[in-house]
Amino acid sequence: MTELDFDKIFENYLRDWCKENADEYGSTEEMEDGGANLYDRWADSPCEALGGIAPRQFFERITDPGELVKLLIATGTTGCPCALLLDRIEQVPECSIHLAEIVRLSTNKMLIMLAINLLRDIDEQIPYDIYIKWLLDYGTEKCPAHIDGEIIELLVEVLAEKADIVGDLLLPFVHTSSYETKINLADILVFYPDNDIVYKLLKELFLEGNNIPLYAGYLGKYGDPRAIESLQDALGDCNYLEYMEVVGAIERLGGEVNIVRDFSEDPYYLALKKAR
């Protein structure tokens, strides 16, 4: 079962379809339009390489979660597994235990990211402890060598979606984290409402001035009116793009903007005006 190359099987189906239908289309673009749903047609069509059953049915017949994840491991270490396999794994929640083991034990980046995304969709057995440890250790000697920025970026997305669950676990580390880790924590905790530690973190990053538009937006989203004063103080010394985000945040928090700036010479304003 693990020796089947579903990409190759589909390529053969696609090649045969193109040969059979070449005379029906006047251009490559028309042929592409005609084959728009070709993958779904292939997925539900009897396949000789699979003993006459359709590829989708082939995977639906596999009910053992361990066998499904073995297929993922066999095909996901060097490339993207068959989409039908990924769909089937998402339909079997019991796969989540095996996927969590991949996260904990594998050192293959591609496989780890596949497992994280599948666990995200299944929404069971998510190893938050590992996610948080990697997030906090990233950039230090404690972090495993196979954990890179792309994995951390994915973990931030996943944890942000579950801020209500992981927020309390992250808060104790805000004050002692590096600047880079604080940036990641802010991306998550902005979705954890009504917390003074989070508010102060967002304010700190805003006042650093390294990404005023982002953290102005975060402060506006967070909804704490204490931020209005800091936002208003920034209005007099920022570029056009920053100014617009800060104004938006102030207004979102119920504040008023009393400073009107002339941006006629501002390069960002001129670039946007030219683009229009």
Q: What tens digit of pLDDT does each residue of 85-126 get? A: 999 999 999 999 999 999 999 999 999 999 999 999 999 999
Q: Provide the b/e sequence for 237-275 (b: ≥16 CB within 10 Å).
A: ebebbbbbbbbbbbebbebeeeeebebeebeebeeeeee
Residue 2: pLDDT band by 50, 70, 90 thresholds?
Answer: very low
Q: Name the token pair of 51.
A: 């003993």
CATH class for the region spanning 194-276: mainly alpha
Mean pLDDT of the chain: 93
Domain ranges (residues) in the chain = 1-6+47-124, 127-192, 194-276
Give the pLDDT mean for 262-274: 91
Give the pLDDT mean for 32-61: 90
pTM of the full structure: 0.89
Residue 3: pLDDT band by 50, 70, 90 thresholds?
Answer: low
Report how far Cα 148 is from the mean position of its chain's Cα atoms.
15
The answer, yes or no, to whether residue 1 has pLDDT greater than 70, is: no
The answer, yes or no, to whether residue 250 has pLDDT greater than 90, is: yes
Could you tell me if residue 139 is left (phi over 0), alpha (psi between -120 and 50 degrees) or otherwise beta? Answer: left
The fraction of the chain above a pLDDT of 70, given in percent, is: 98
Give the pLDDT mean for 144-166: 97
Nearest partner of 190 among 225, 215, 227, judged by Cα: 215
pLDDT of res. 115: 97
